[in-house]
């Protein structure tokens, strides 16, 4: 793989940084909201009367789950494409800016509605709880803006392919394409429920909404959403971390194949979030459970590939014995260590995910705080620490500065603080969840129930963990501001991995989007058509809106 640009063009850099500013403002606001939640739920702290637990929880979920992730990912992917496929054309860059502003306007609209307590419906906005129409319009604009950003990426990919006929696209551009296409196919679901169901209903144009159809469309989007978060981390693990440690990418073809498998198996699986719901036939639930578990295969490929890269590098440096190569890894380099902590977190995170998606085990943990513990390992550790690890070189690269030794050290401390805080918080959440403590609930003794009393020590541990994590957020924001505005001028490397010499030529079949999107659509139709027809044919009378907040 050849790198077209040594340095990302300044004009593209500005576009990427605009996305990152919003992402890190979101981190500050959402992180504070998270801290407040853990404190309230410990039972030792009360919110002032002008706000409430569920309003803060809505802010936390929307701002971190939707805003931070979407802005960071779109910015990162734009940087990857500009770096590996060449500077964006004026038209592509303009499209990117339109996407950015559309998302930003949407974010502000949704945020104002949440702050006015017109939309305390959490980031999943399940009907028949009804938010203000402007909240739904704001979220729609965020999604539409991400499509426009995606269009800029697809245009850049298309012009590279045109200029290089018969050649496979650069690996990181290819990966950004897979994630963008998956995102577009997935967001059609949430766009459909918002535009055709929730928006007309919140405007009073229709009186009732079909709750099950709305939830099904939401979860058709909701699970690929988590892979939309995860795949950019995988891009860094597959193709950037090898360069940082001084090794090679294990296999270009296998990396592409695992991304294609994620595209195929991320979407037709939403029912595993709806296992305990009435109204869906259990046989169809089981079918989607099976499809869900097929992502185990690309996940195992990823794990193998990463550790193969690490071991091959260590052995090339003269490591001996079964685990001697571990010592050769660059443990003093934050660009490696912080994403590495994320990789380690993915081991318990993935195991917990197997429990959640299981047809029967799910019943023990469904909607308990175990689930919250689970995605604070996946999203809030594996993914987010990798995003932080990326920021440590990408931000100074884009701003023409360098990551100093002092900042590198602070960045490693940041990663360790995060790991400690999350061990407390997520560990306590998993444990309390197994005892039955519900997720998304303010502090309660449930009338002095003995069972609820058992949960409280774990809730205190969550507050301890949450406070440590908040320190981690302050450190991260400090480093980000330093790298964006104050670090010494210089040239920070944009690491792009090279494929090991022994690897074979990449087959062109991976670029056959008609084939992959075709299979994706067929799988979706297979998994959803009949249950969807059932839902509509057997639908009860719809629900009126309620504003219980």
Partner 1 sequence: MHIHKFEKIWLIFGITTLLVFLTVVGVSAFYMGNQPPSCLATINPEKVDTTAPFDEPGLKKVEGKEWDYELIFVASAFAYNPGQVEVPKGAKVKVIATTKDVIHGFEVAGTNINMMLEPGYISEFVTTFDKAGEYLIVCNEYCGVGHHMMSSKIEVVE
Separation of alpha carbons 437 and 43, rounded Å = 14
Q: Is 256 a catalytic residue?
A: no
Q: Binding to partner 1 by residue 355, rule CB under 8 A?
A: no
Nearer to partner 1, 93 or 376 (CB): 376
Both structure tokens of 239? 């193709």
Largest CA distance in the chain: 71
Residue in 442, 467, 517, 530 binding partner 1, rule: CB under 8 A: 442
Both structure tokens of 231? 């795949």
DSSP per-residue codes, 308-319: HHHHHHHHHTT-
Nearer to partner 1, 300 or 481 (CB): 300
- Out of 125, 375, 392, 424, the active site residue is 375
Q: Binding to partner 1 by residue 49, rule CB under 8 A?
A: no
Orientation angle between helical segments 384-399 and 450-481, nearest 10 degrees: 10
Nearer to partner 1, 321 or 488 (CB): 321
Region for residue 290 given its phi and psi (left: phi exceeds 0; alpha: psi -120 to 50; beta: otherwise)? alpha
Q: Binding to partner 1 by residue 43, rule CB under 8 A?
A: no
Which of these ranges, 164-172, 226-234, 321-329, 430-438, lies near partner 1 under the rule CB under 8 A?
A: 430-438
Nearer to partner 1, 153 or 264 (CB): 264
Shortest distance (Å) from residue 549 CB to partner 1: 5
Nearer to partner 1, 21 or 549 (CB): 549
Positions in 209-238 near partner 1 (CB under 8 A)? 211-212, 215
Which uninterrupted H or E stretch holds 68? Answer: none
Q: Is 273 a catalytic residue?
A: no
| Backbone torsions φ then ψ of 499, nearest 5 degrees | -80, 140
Angle at 31 between CA 478 and CA 341, to 5 degrees: 70
- Out of 21, 161, 440, 443, the active site residue is 440
Positions in 330-349 near partner 1 (CB under 8 A)? none
Shortest distance (Å) from residue 318 CB to partner 1: 21
* Torsion sign over Cα 124, 130, 132, 137: positive
Shortest distance (Å) from residue 518 CB to partner 1: 21
Which of these ranges, 53-61, 65-73, 339-347, 489-497, lies near partner 1 under the rule CB under 8 A?
A: 53-61
Positions in 241-260 near partner 1 (CB under 8 A)? 251, 253-254, 257
Residue in 4, 435, 477, 517 binding partner 1, rule: CB under 8 A: 435
Q: Is 546 a catalytic residue?
A: no
Shortest distance (Å) from residue 293 CB to partner 1: 6
Separation of alpha carbons 35 and 424, rounded Å = 13
Q: Binding to partner 1 by residue 29, rule CB under 8 A?
A: no
- Out of 41, 60, 256, 376, the active site residue is 376
Contact indicator for 109, 137 with CB cutoff of 8 Å: yes
Name all contacts of 154-161 with Cβ < 8 Å and 24+ positions apart: 154/180, 155/89, 155/91, 155/92, 155/95, 156/81, 156/82, 156/85, 156/86, 156/88, 156/89, 156/92, 157/81, 157/85, 159/85, 159/86, 159/89, 159/92, 160/85, 160/86, 161/511
Q: What is the DSSP letter of 78?
A: H
Nearer to partner 1, 103 or 349 (CB): 349
Q: 474: cis peptide before it, omega within 30°?
A: no
Contact pattern from residue 522 through residue 541 relative to partner 1, giving x for each residue in contact according to CB under 8 A and a dash for the rest:
----------------xxxx
Q: Is 374 a catalytic residue?
A: yes
Q: Which value, in Å, is the radius of gyration of the alpha carbons in the chain?
A: 23
Q: Is 376 a catalytic residue?
A: yes
Nearer to partner 1, 110 or 452 (CB): 452
- Out of 223, 256, 401, 430, the active site residue is 223
Contact indicator for 20, 388 with CB cutoff of 8 Å: no
Residue in 109, 178, 289, 428 binding partner 1, rule: CB under 8 A: 289
Positions in 489-528 near partner 1 (CB under 8 A)? 503-504, 507
Q: Binding to partner 1 by residue 353, rule CB under 8 A?
A: no
In whole angstroms, how far apart are CA 302 and each of 215, 501, 503? Answer: 31, 20, 16
Residue in 404, 438, 464, 467 binding partner 1, rule: CB under 8 A: 438
Q: Binding to partner 1 by residue 33, rule CB under 8 A?
A: no
Which of these ranges, 135-143, 358-366, 414-422, 471-479, lies near partner 1 under the rule CB under 8 A?
A: 358-366
The site that binds partner 1 (CB under 8 A) totals a number of residues, namely 75
Q: Which residues, in sequence order, are bridge partners of residue 543?
A: 209
Contact pattern from residue 163 through residue 202 relative to partner 1, giving x for each residue in contact according to CB under 8 A and a dash for the rest:
----------------------------------------
Shortest distance (Å) from residue 484 CB to partner 1: 36
In whole angstroms, how far apart are CA 421 and each of 32, 292, 344, 392, 443? Answer: 15, 30, 15, 21, 21
Positions in 76-135 near partner 1 (CB under 8 A)? 120, 122, 126, 128-129
Token pair 């699970």 is at which residue?
A: 223
- Out of 293, 307, 439, 443, the active site residue is 439
Residue in 165, 204, 447, 488 binding partner 1, rule: CB under 8 A: 447
Q: Is 440 a catalytic residue?
A: yes
Shortest distance (Å) from residue 457 CB to partner 1: 16
Q: Binding to partner 1 by residue 280, rule CB under 8 A?
A: yes
Orientation angle between helical segments 513-537 and 211-239, nearest 10 degrees: 160
Q: Binding to partner 1 by residue 296, rule CB under 8 A?
A: yes
DSSP per-residue codes, 89-115: PHHHHHHHHHHHHHHHHHHHHHHHHHH
Nearer to partner 1, 82 or 362 (CB): 362
Orientation angle between helical segments 334-357 and 282-293, nearest 10 degrees: 150
Residues labelled as active-site residues: 223, 227, 374-376, 439-440
């Amino acid at each position: 793989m050849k790198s077209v640009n040594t340095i990302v063009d300044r004009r593209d850099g500005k576009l990427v940084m605009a996305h990152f500013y919003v992402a890190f403002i979101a981190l500050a606001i959402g992180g504070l909201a998270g801290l407040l939640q853990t404190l309230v739920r410990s039972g030792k702290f009360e919110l002032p009367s002008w706000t409430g637990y569920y309003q803060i929880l809505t802010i936390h979920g929307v701002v971190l789950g939707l805003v931070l992730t979407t802005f960071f990912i779109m910015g990162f992917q734009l940087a990857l494409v500009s770096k590996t496929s060449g500077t964006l054309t004026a038209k592509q860059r303009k499209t990117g800016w339109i996407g950015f502003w559309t998302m930003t306007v949407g974010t502000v609209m949704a945020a104002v509605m949440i702050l006015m307590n017109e939309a305390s419906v959490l980031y999943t906005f399940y009907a028949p709880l009804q938010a203000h129409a402007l909240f739904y319009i704001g979220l729609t604009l965020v999604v539409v803006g991400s499509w426009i950003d995606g269009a800029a990426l697809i245009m850049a990919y298309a012009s590279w392919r045109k200029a290089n006929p018969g050649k496979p696209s650069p690996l990181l551009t290819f990966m950004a394409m897979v994630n963008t296409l998956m995102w577009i196919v997935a967001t059609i679901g949430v766009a459909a429920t918002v535009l055709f169901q929730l928006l007309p209903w919140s405007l009073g144009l229709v009186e009732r909404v079909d709750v099950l159809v709305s939830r099904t469309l939401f979860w058709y989007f909701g699970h690929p959403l988590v892979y939309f978060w995860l795949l950019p981390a995988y891009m860094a693990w597959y193709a950037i971390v090898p360069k940082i440690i001084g090794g090679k990418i294990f296999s270009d073809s296998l990396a592409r194949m695992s991304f294609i498998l994620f595209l195929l198996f991320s979407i037709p699986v939403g029912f595993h979030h709806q296992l305990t719901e009435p109204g869906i036939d259990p046989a169809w639930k089981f079918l989607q459970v099976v499809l869900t578990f097929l992502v185990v295969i690309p996940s195992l490929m990823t794990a193998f590939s990463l550790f193969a890269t690490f071991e091959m590098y260590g052995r090339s440096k003269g490591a001996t014995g079964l685990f001697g190569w571990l010592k050769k890894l660059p443990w003093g380099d934050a660009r490696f260590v912080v994403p590495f902590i994320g990789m380690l977190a993915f081991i318990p995170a993935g195991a917990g995910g197997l429990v959640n998606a299981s047809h029967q085990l799910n019943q023990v943990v469904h909607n308990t705080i175990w689930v919250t513990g689970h995605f604070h390992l996946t999203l809030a550790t594996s993914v987010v620490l990798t995003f932080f690890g990326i920021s440590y070189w990408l931000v100074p690269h884009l701003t023409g500065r360098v990551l100093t030794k002092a900042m590198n050290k602070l960045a490693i401390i940041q990663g360790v603080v995060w790991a400690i805080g999350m061990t407390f918080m997520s560990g306590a959440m998993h444990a309390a969840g197994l005892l039955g403590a519900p997720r998304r609930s303010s502090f309660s003794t449930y009338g002095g129930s003995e069972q609820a009393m058992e949960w409280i020590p774990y809730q205190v541990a969550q507050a301890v963990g949450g406070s440590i994590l908040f320190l981690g957020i302050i450190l991260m924001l400090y480093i980000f501001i330093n790298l964006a505005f104050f670090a010494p001028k210089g040239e920070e490397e944009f690491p792009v991995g090279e494929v090991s010499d022994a690897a074979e030529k990449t087959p062109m079949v991976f670029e056959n989007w008609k084939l992959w999107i075709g299979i994706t659509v067929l799988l979706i139709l297979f998994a959803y058509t009949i249950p969807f027809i059932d839902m509509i044919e057997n639908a009860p009378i719809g629900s009126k809106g309620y504003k219980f907040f």
